[in-house]
Amino acid sequence: EPEVTQTPSHQVTQMGQEVILRCVPISNHLYFYWYRQILGQKVEFLVSFYNNEISEKSEIFDDQFSVERPDGSNFTLKIRSTKLEDSAMYFCASSETEGTNYGYTFGSGTRLTVV
């Protein structure tokens, strides 16, 4: 069964450092998403990406965050200057159509720990 692949599975970084989280969506999917889940809290939407541009973003997705699809397969989330409160599980997801039609396929996540 096709999978969304995320790397690394766990990243520890110092406050103020830049991190890049990587995702390889399912190959025929056109819509890509980042969500995060702080330990013990709700899953929160960050951003959706379609046709090489952001289609929607949340209030969490401020100027410290950016997304990119640098080639035909990878989809990345960059956090420019990490804060302690950025510590969370970050999930990439993809869908064939607009995600709220049929739901998403999530990757296994990257656990980001900011120290």
Partner 1 sequence: QKEVEQNSGPLSVPEGAIASLNCTYSDRVSQSFFWYRQYSGKSPELIMSIYSNGDKEDGRFTAQLNKASQYVSLLIRDSQPSDSATYLCAVSGSNYQLIWGAGTKLIIKP
Nearer to partner 1, 70 or 103 (CB): 103
Extract the runs of DSSP E, i.e. beta strands, from the chain. 5-7, 10-13, 19-24, 31-37, 43-50, 53-57, 65-68, 75-79, 88-95, 105-106, 110-114
Collapsing DSSP states into helix, strand and coil, what is residue 47? Answer: strand
103 lies in the binding site for partner 1 (CB under 8 A): yes
Tokens of 113: 């720990």
- Note every long-range contact of 51-59, with CB atoms under 8 Å and residues 24 or more positions apart, other chains counting: 55/31
Nearer residue to partner 1 within complex by CB, 10 or 80: 10
Where does this chain touch partner 1 (CB under 8 A) — which range of 16-24, 66-74, 76-84, 100-108? 100-108
Sign of CA dihedral 14, 41, 34, 93: positive
Question: Minimum CB separation from partner 1 for residue 110, in Å?
Answer: 10
Q: Give, as ranges, the residues between 15 and 74 that touch partner 1 (CB under 8 A).
A: 31, 33, 41-45, 48, 50, 55-56, 58
Q: Is 102 in the site for partner 1 (CB under 8 A)?
A: yes
Residues that bind partner 1 (CB under 8 A): 31, 33, 41-45, 48, 50, 55-56, 58, 89, 91, 98-109
